Amino acid sequence: MAPNFEGKKVKVGVLGATGTVGQRFIVLLSEHPFFVLHALGASQRSAGKAYSKVVAWKQVRAIPHVVRDMVIQECKPEHFSECSVVFSGLDADVAGNIEAAFREAELAVFSNAKNFRRDPHVPLIVPLVNTSHYSIIQQQQQLHSPPLKKGFIVTNANCSTTGFVVPLAALEKAFGPIESCMITTMQAISGAGYPGIPSLDILDNVVPYISGEEEKMEWETLKILGGISTEDDGKKSFDMHSKQPLRISASCNRVPVLEGHTECVSVRFAKRPPPSPQQVREAFQAYTSDAYAMGCPSAPRHTVYVHEEPDRPQPRLDRDFQLGAGVCVGRVRECRVLDIKFVVMANNVAIGAATSSIINAEFALLKGYVA
C-alpha cells in the first residue's frame, strides 16, 4: 500500500515540456498521487508564453487544465527553485548541460535523454528491472565537485532497449545468464519526436536505419542487466554483465506505426539444456518488479503480459494496456538457431520514456532518495 501524499505532494518541473515525451509527462503528472506540476521549461522559442499557446498538442485527451495557462520558463534552475524533482524530455543536443546545471542546483533529475546514460556514476534504470542500481547515487553525489547533498541524475533507457530488456531480465531471473541475443525492431514514428520523419519518407515504407539505435541497444542492455561491483576501497562500478559475457546483435527499422515499438527477439541461454517455450511463458508470467511491490502507483500489475493468441502483441491493439506501463510478449516458441524466440511490444512514449521516469521518481521518493 503506497503512502498518501495528499496535501503534501512534491512539486515537480518538466523540462522539454512541449515535446513528444514532455506532453506525456504532463498528462501523467497532471493527476498524480505523489507529484504536482509546478513549473514547465522549453526552449527560448517557447519561454515567456502560455503553454497552450505554443505547444503542438498531439495527445488524445485535452491539455490538462492545470498547465493551460502556465507560463513556460527557460530551462534554468532559478525558475525551478521551488521544485524538488525535474523530469527531462529535452532534446539530446541540449540535455547534457541543462541537466548537469539542475543537478548542481541540488534537484533530482529524471531524464529520458541519452547524454548521461554512459556516465560511470549515473544509474541507467528501467524501473521494471534494475532499481537496485539506485545504490550508486551516493557515489555520484560524493564525487561531484562540489559534493552534492540532494542533487542527482537518474536516466532511463532508450525506448527499444526498454522493451526487450524487461523480458530478458525475467529470463535471467528464472534460468540464469543469457549468452547471446538477436533482435530486430519495428519502431514507431513517435520515437523520432515531432515533427519527426517526413510523411513522404515513412508512408508506404520501412526505413532500415535509425541513427545510433543499434549501438545503444547493445550497450545499454549490458549496463542494465549487469550488477554493481564494489572494490576494496568501497568504490562502486557497473560490471556490464562481464562475469557472463552477453553478445547482442540488434537491427533497427522505422515503420509507419504511430506508437508502440515491436521487436522480434531470439535468445540462447548459458544453461543446457535450455528451458522449453512453456517454461519461458511461465517465467514471463511470474516476473514482477520491485517497483510494483514497493507500491509505486504507476508500476504495472503485469510486468510482462503474455499473449496466447498467435497474432499478438500488436501495437494498435496492445499499446494502451495498463496505460502502456508494462510490456506485452507473444509467439513464444523454439528457435532453430538459438534456443527460444518471441515477440515483444512496448509503448515507446510510455514505459519507453515518460512512464519509466515517473516510476523511477516514485521509487526514489518511497526509498527516501528525494529530499
Ligand X SMILES: N[C@@H](CC(=O)OP(=O)(O)O)C(=O)O
Ligand Y SMILES: NC(=O)C1=CN([C@@H]2O[C@H](COP(=O)(O)OP(=O)(O)OC[C@H]3O[C@@H](n4cnc5c(N)ncnc54)[C@H](OP(=O)(O)O)[C@@H]3O)[C@@H](O)[C@H]2O)C=CC1
Which run of H or E residues covers position 238? Answer: strand 236-238
Show the CA angle centred on residue 176, arms to residues 170 and 182, nearest 5°: 70
Residue nearest to ligand X (CB): 191
Instruction: Give the nearest distance from C-beta 36 to ligand X in angstroms.
Output: 26
Q: Which residues inside 15-74 make contact with ligand Y, applying CB under 6 A? A: 16-22, 42-43, 45-46
349: cell is: 512514449
172: cell is: 535471467
Q: Which residues inside 83-122 make contact with ligand X, applying CB under 6 A? A: 92, 112, 114
Which run of H or E residues covers position 249? Answer: strand 247-251
Select from 167-175, 186-194, 230-238, 277-285 the region that touches ligand X (CB under 6 A).
186-194
Chain-centroid distance of CA 124 in Å reads 9
CB contact burial 309-340 (16+ within 10 A = b; e otherwise): eeebbbbeebbebbebbbbbbbbbeebeebbb
The answer to whether 261 is a known catalytic residue is yes
Residue among 352, 361, 364, 365 that touches ligand Y (CB under 6 A):
352
List the single partner that 300 binds among ligand Y, ligand X, none, CB under 5 to 8 Å by kind.
none
List the single partner that 216 binds among ligand Y, ligand X, none, CB under 5 to 8 Å by kind.
ligand X
Instruction: Give the nearest distance from C-beta 91 to ligand Y in angstroms.
Output: 4
Residue among 190, 262, 266, 322 that touches ligand Y (CB under 6 A):
190
The nearer residue to ligand Y, 57 or 142, going by C-beta atoms, is 57
- 38, 75, 121, 159: the catalytic one is 159
Select from 49-57, 146-154, 210-218, 311-319 the region that touches ligand X (CB under 6 A).
210-218
DSSP letter at 156 equals: -
* Neighbouring residues of 212: CB distance < 8 A, sequence distance ≥ 6: 114
DSSP letter at 336 equals: S
267 binds ligand Y (CB under 6 A): no
Instruction: Give the nearest distance from C-beta 203 to ligand Y in angstroms.
Output: 19
158 binds ligand X (CB under 6 A): yes
Residue among 10, 36, 94, 255 that touches ligand Y (CB under 6 A):
94
Longest dimension (CA), the chain: 63
Spell out, one character per residue from 329 to 358, where the chain touches ligand X: x when CB under 6 A holds, - when not.
-------------------x----------
Is the CB of residue 156 less than 8 Å from the CB of residue 25?
no
159 binds ligand Y (CB under 6 A): yes
Is the CB of residue 23 less than 8 Å from the CB of residue 55?
yes
Residue among 12, 27, 86, 95 that touches ligand Y (CB under 6 A):
95
| Type of residue numbered 14 | V
The nearer residue to ligand X, 105 or 354, going by C-beta atoms, is 354
The answer to whether 65 is a known catalytic residue is no
Other Cβ atoms within 10 Å of 52 Cβ, number: 14
191 binds ligand X (CB under 6 A): yes
Query: In terms of Cα–Cα distance, which of 112, 59, 102 is closest to 320?
Result: 59
Query: In terms of Cα–Cα distance, which of 290, 363, 297, 366 is closest to 110?
Result: 363
The nearer residue to ligand Y, 171 or 210, going by C-beta atoms, is 210
216 binds ligand X (CB under 6 A): yes
Is the CB of residue 272 less than 8 Å from the CB of residue 205?
no
Select from 163-171, 187-195, 237-245, 277-285 the region that touches ligand X (CB under 6 A).
187-195
192 binds ligand X (CB under 6 A): yes
Instruction: Give the nearest distance from C-beta 114 to ligand X in angstroms.
Output: 4
Residue among 15, 126, 186, 210 that touches ligand X (CB under 6 A):
210
178: cell is: 543469457
Crossing angle of the two packed helices 277-286 and 159-175, in degrees rounded to 10 = 110
Query: In terms of Cα–Cα distance, which of 16, 113, 34 is closest to 291?
Result: 34
Instruction: Give the nearest distance from C-beta 217 to ligand X in angstroms.
Output: 9
CA distance 99 to 13: 12
Residue among 353, 359, 365, 370 that touches ligand Y (CB under 6 A):
353
Residues in touch with ligand X (CB under 6 A): 92, 112, 114, 158-159, 187, 191-192, 210, 213, 216, 348
Please identify every residue annotated as catalytic: 159, 261
